[in-house]
Amino acid sequence: MRIPIASVCVFAGSNPGTDPAFEDAAVQLGRMLALRGINVVYGGGKVGLMGLLADAALDAGGTVTGVIPKDLFDREVGHTGLTELLVVESMHERKLAMADRSQAFIALPGGVGTFEELFEAFTWTQLGIHAKPVGVLDVHGFYTPLLGFLDDVVSQGFLTPTHRAHFLAGTDPDELLSRFQSWEPTTVSKWLGPEDR
């Protein structure tokens, strides 16, 4: 049986994006996590989807932990109203601190920084470095092309179906969190063999 999720790391854009649905999703996710008593861990910024997520969680009475490197504090406008703000030396320290404080990972829409964080968390699940669910909030089909690409990666022999199944998706926060609650890690003894193709 899985340990209940007490803290979720959320990767999100430092810009709001062009679709108002992205902002709505950040607010909805932050509020939902707070109302469920789940701590939000994120990149510590005050702007974009990151800031909307944090503010929504705080406004709903939740707790929020931000982790931000010193050299990004000014550029990403570090949020000084959080429950906890950790200022670290590097991006590597940031990602490790966020992972250490979380039992699951969700990506909202974002740019290459969001993708990089998301895929590192997914890789760590694949490699067994951690046993934590990873998923995307597929707002207005933002991640649909990526999900299709991962299916292609499986069909072309670079990812096992078992590992592909570890990359979760939902179109609303409740759906995604429900998938997290029922997720179980699996052990694959070999990355790819004839039986996986």
pLDDT band at 2 (very low <50, low <70, confident <90, very high): low
**pLDDT tens across 10-33, in order?**
999 999 999 999 999 999 999 999
Which tokens sit at 100? 């250490």
Of 63, 45, 58, 167, the closest CA to residue 106 belongs to 167
Q: How far apart are CA 141 and CA 68, in angstroms?
A: 29
**pLDDT tens across 66-108, in order?**
999 998 887 768 899 999 999 999 999 999 999 999 999 999 9
**pLDDT tens across 99-149, in order?**
999 999 999 999 999 999 999 999 999 888 999 999 999 999 999 999 999
Q: Specify the fold of 7-196.
A: Rossmann fold (3.40.50)
Q: Judge whether residue 157 has pLDDT over 60.
A: yes
CA 29 to each of CA 9, 173, 188: distance values in angstroms, whole numbers, following the listed order: 12, 6, 32
Counting Cα atoms < 13 Å in the Cβ hemisphere of 117 gives 31
Q: How far apart are CA 113 and CA 110, in angstroms?
A: 7
pLDDT at 197: 44
User: What's the pTM?
Assistant: 0.92
Backbone angles phi, psi at 156, to 5 degrees: -95, 5
Of 173, 36, 58, 48, the closest CA to residue 107 belongs to 173
**What is the layout of strands, in order, in the sheet containing 7-11?**
84-88, 64-69, 39-42, 7-11, 104-107, 134-137, 167-170
Residue 73 or 168, more confident? 168
Residue 194 or 98, more confident? 98
